Structure 1
């Protein structure tokens, strides 16, 4: 009888722990990126004209589906570079919000150009077992045969894979934005940059 009780207790304990263990294992980075992109494109399918006329719906879609896949704090640190170290906590927070809104608009509008005529070939992630920093690659082929490589740099944050950099062609968007922001910071300072971004991207339009 005691043995039966112990068996039941072990079974009950495993049943309780199973969901926790499943949650603790992060979704593979290539699967996560592929499924997220396909979800966004599927949501846009047949609605592109509507989304162009109602951009807030587009931005809400990108915010709910793509933004959670990004490591915005780390990306913000990378693109600001030296200015991040001297920024106040308030400036860092304000910059992250404005930067997120900028990304939502930039890449949301970019994804509207995918009308189904493009073919996306997702390539397997090649990384050592247990790696926590990987490169996810895809090839986008247009209907005229032009191929464009797309990459995402991903790492593990709190048991989840997050994007912290990427490129279309050969240009890293962190490198690109860092060059733009550093130039503006040199000319007017970090506060002016943040105010300009807030005025442009935080107004809900």
Structure 2
């Protein structure tokens, strides 16, 4: 149960693609995010996410897209998907065209929302707690927020790397759980695919959703 929860809940809260929410909603979210500390923001979005899961659990099989759309809008508030996707491309980012970079952001975004959204629906009744900061965060532009998933099988820590963007809004840029660095894992996956397809970035993007040996080894 916990292994499945880690593989699904974490990337949805993390990893971690902004740009598909409507403009007015994005503006409202930016104001809300800028008024909250990074710890408050993670706690608020987690509460909203759990409520969203409850609301869509019974109707998901018939209307999965409704859940994916709601999840997309919610996670856009806290995840810098564009920044994450750019870093996932690693050194291949410099070789890619603007169109390829944009296409990968869109593909990476969609894959995370749909793949991990399906796993989130099966989330149980574990307790999720955001730990208070251990130091004064005043003036900091990069912080780590620690969250714990607590249940009968143990406690699993999540470490969110968060950065203050140019608009003054806190965004998640990476997540580490039990020593597994998701940003690094996805970057290794991209490099593995690029090697497999002889550096053909279009092929990497087209086959991004296929099972990866990197992801299998992490699981």
Band the TM-score falls in, shorter-chain normalisation = 0.7 to 0.9
Classify 1:47/1:191 alpha carbon distance in 2 versus 1 (closer, same or farther; 3 Å).
Answer: closer
Is 1:103 the counterpart of 2:112? The answer is yes
Partner secondary structure for residue 193 of structure 2: helix
Map 1:120-199; keep pairs closer than 5 Å: 120-127=128-135, 128-142=137-151, 144-157=152-165, 158-188=167-197, 189-197=200-208
Structure 2 residue corresponding to 1:77, chosen from 61, 86, 89: 86
Higher mean displacement: 182-191 or 64-73: 64-73
Q: Which moved more, 1:106-115 or 1:91-100?
A: 106-115
Compared with structure 1, are the counterparts of its residues 199 and 181 closer, same or farther at alpha carbon in structure 2 (3 Å cutoff)? closer
Question: 1:159-187 deviations in whole A, cap 9, x for unaligned?
Answer: 10001101232211111111111100111
1:51 alignment partner, SS class: coil
Partner in structure 2 of residue 118 of structure 1: 126
TM-score by length of 2: 0.73
**Distance between the aligned counterparts of 1:141 and 1:23, measured in 2?**
28
Bigger share in helix: 1
Task: Note the residue ranges of structure 2 that are not aligned, 5 or more in a row.
Answer: 1-30, 212-219
The root-mean-square deviation of aligned C-alpha atoms, in Å, is: 2.3
Distance (whole Å) between structure 2 residues aligned to residue 47 and residue 23 of structure 1:
24
* Secondary structure class of the residue paired with 1:37: helix
Unaligned runs of 5+ in 1: 1-21, 201-205
Verify the 8 A CA contact 1:152 1:163 in the aligned structure 2.
yes
Asked whether the equivalents of residues 26 and 159 of structure 1 are also in contact (C-alpha less than 8 Å), the reply is no
Does the 8 A contact of 2:111 with 2:209 survive in 1?
A: no
User: SS state of the match for residue 159, structure 2?
Assistant: strand
When the two structures are superposed, what TM-score results if normalisation uses the length of structure 1?
A: 0.78
* Larger Rg computed on CA atoms: 1
| Contact 1:26–1:161 (8 Å) recurs in 2 | no
Give the Cα–Cα distance (whole angstroms) in 1 for the partners of residues 33 and 48 of structure 2.
Answer: 23
Provide, for residues 42-101 of structure 1, a one-character-per-residue CA deviation record: whole Å limited to 9, x for no partner: 122153132244321221121010123111221012111100111100001000000111
